[in-house]
Amino acid sequence: MKILALETSGACCSAALLIADRLKQRHEHAPRRHADLILGMLDDLLREAGLRLSELDAIAYGRGPGSFTGVRIAAAVAQGVAFGANRPVIAVSTLAATARAAYRRTGQRRIACALDARMGEVYWGCFRVDGPNALTLIDQEGVLAPESTPALAGTSWCAAGNGWEAYPTLQERHRSALEATPEPIPGRLTEIGPEAEDIAWLARAMSDQGKRPDQALPVYLRNRVAEVSQKQTERL
């Protein structure tokens, strides 16, 4: 199976090519430069592998949540590439990708992901890891104030994502569930975010969920945006 994956929802821009069990990735910390870099990364990976787009099984993308503009870039590029190459798309959660990245680094099997959503909220998703590419979402993803995040059941939870760093109240709220975590919190896990590598592996496990290119849409989670923006446009 051959999957080309891209991820542009946060401060990093990354692309990955997964062929059977071999993965190559391009990854750069590049805030606001995703549009400059992403197509070059994809092109680079294909050239290096001597592969054409038409030989791929699917295009995978980080569908969000994350920066609105970032997830739209990922979705729009996925649409363009997939439609142009007549390949299906696979939408992968950036929270699940973050959880997989955390599992990769720590081997922990309970991952609580919080990505900074600004405006006093986090994008929240908790996962149980049953295998390297078998993650189960517990409850549902949401955009929540730290104090509204549901209590974590049990202990030994691993905290992943920059939301844990942005909101100290989040750590306080879940302290008892996190206490048995071997990694110090706050620690390097707060720097973990979604990467194309994890998008690609997770997409392979979802290969029966390929969709038409025009179904490659962002998942924002935060859908109450108009009331906020309305004031900005109301001038006479």
Partner 1 sequence: MRVLGIETSCDETGVALYDGGPDGAGLLAHAVYSQVELHAEYGGVVPELASRDHIRKLLPLIEQVLDEAGLSAAEIEGIAYTAGPGLVGALLVGAALGRSLAWAWGVPALAVHHMEGHLLAPLLEDPAPAFPFVALLVSGGHTQLVDVQAIGRYRILGESVDDAAGEAFDKTAKILGLPYPGGPALARLAEQGDPTRYRFPRPMTDRPGLDFSFSGLKTFALNAWRQVQAEREDLEQARADIARAFEEAVVDTLLIKCRRAVEAAGAERLIMAGGVSANRRLRARMDEQMDARGVAVFYPRAALCTDNGAMIALAGHERLVAGQHEALSFGARPRWALEALSTLDGDPAS
Site for partner 1 in 198-227 (CB under 8 A): 213-214, 217-218, 220, 225-226
Residue 137 sits in the site that holds partner 1 (CB under 8 A)? no
Nearer to partner 1, 26 or 110 (CB): 26
Report the residue from 69, 106, 133, 171 that binds partner 1 according to the rule CB under 8 A. Answer: 69
For 165, the token pair is 């760093």
Interface positions, 26-65, toward partner 1 (CB under 8 A): 35-37, 39-40, 42-43, 53
Check binding of 122 to partner 1 (CB under 8 A). Answer: no
> According to CB under 8 A, which one of 18, 77, 92, 196 is a site residue for partner 1?
77
Phi, psi of 170 (to 5 degrees): -65, -45
User: In the structure encoding, which two tokens stand for residue 199, read together?
Assistant: 């998008």
**Strand residue runs (E) in the chain:** 2-7, 12-19, 22-29, 58-62, 89-92, 110-116, 122-131, 134-144, 158-160
Give least dist CB 81 to partner 1, A. 5
- CA-nearest of 126, 149, 124 to 222 is 124
Sign of CA dihedral 65, 68, 70, 74: positive
The two tokens of residue 9 are 């929802």
Which residues contribute to the site for partner 1 (CB under 8 A)? 35-37, 39-40, 42-43, 53, 68-69, 72-73, 75-77, 79-86, 213-214, 217-218, 220, 225-226, 229-230, 233-234, 236
